[in-house]
Each structure stands twice: as structure tokens, then as C-alpha cells.
Amino acid sequence: MIEDIAARFPYWATAVLMVVGLYGMIGKRNLVKKLIGMNIFQSAIILFFIAGSQRDGATLPILLVENGHILTPVDPELYVNPLPHVLMLTAIVVSVAITGVALAFLVRIYREYQDLDEESLLKKVRQ
């Protein structure tokens, strides 16, 4: 059991972070906490992609050539898969954009109602 968890630690961490994030988004009443939950969820997914691309004993996928000799291994098995990293760069950009928009929303909401608690906000809005 313990070895199993240790061997797949990143995936367990992903699962835990996802659940924490989901709880934050759905269970918390404060809107900022919801946003933080969303960010945790995003990090979990980024961790998942990066962990999936990892290989034991593999190196960076960069081809080093010196005087016509290839210094780095030719066997693709010895490289870390670079594509997920690229995807995650895009995903990070997307998540920054979402966070930015959400924070801007929160600023507007707070200026209007001086409140960020969901339930009391709903009450104020209904009046």
C-alpha cells in the first residue's frame, strides 16, 4: 500500500489536489476562496500532465551537436516527453487569463457591495 502510493506519488497528489480544489470551488462561500480552489484544481491538472511525461533516467529533449557528433542519446526512450510541457505552458496562460478576469470581477463586485460572501451577496442583490 505505502509503496504503491510512493511509486505513484504525483498521481495521488493530483487526485488529492483536485478534490481539495473542487471542495474549495463548490463548498466554500467566500468568492475569493472559490477562485483559490479553482487555481488549486488547475495546478493539479498541470501536475498530472507533467508527471505523465516523466520517465526514469531520461534527459531533456534537446539535441546537442558538436563538430558533427551527436552528443545526446538518439534513442527516443531516453528523453522526457516535451509535448505535455508545451501544452501546460498554454494551460498556464489560459489559467492566468481566467484568474485575471475573475479577480477583475471580484473587484467590481466588492466595490458595488462591499462583500464577497456568496449568501449575503445574494441577499443584498435580491433587495
Nearer Cβ to other proteins (67/90): 90
Please report how close the Cβ of residue 102 comes to other proteins at its closest, in angstroms.
6
Segment holding 97, helix H or strand E: helix 83-113
Alpha-carbon gap, residue 24 to 32, rounded angstroms = 10
- Residues 39, 55: Cα–Cα separation, whole Å: 27
Per-residue contact flags (x/-) with other proteins for residues 4 to 43, judged by CB under 8 A: --------------x---x--x-----x--xx--x--xx-
Give dist(CA 1, CA 7) in Å, integer. 10
Phi, psi of 69 (to 5 degrees): -100, 135
**Residues lying near other proteins in the complex (CB under 8 A):** 18, 22, 25, 31, 34-35, 38, 41-42, 45, 48-49, 52, 83-84, 87, 90-91, 94, 97-98, 101-102, 105-106, 108-109, 112, 118, 121-122, 125-126
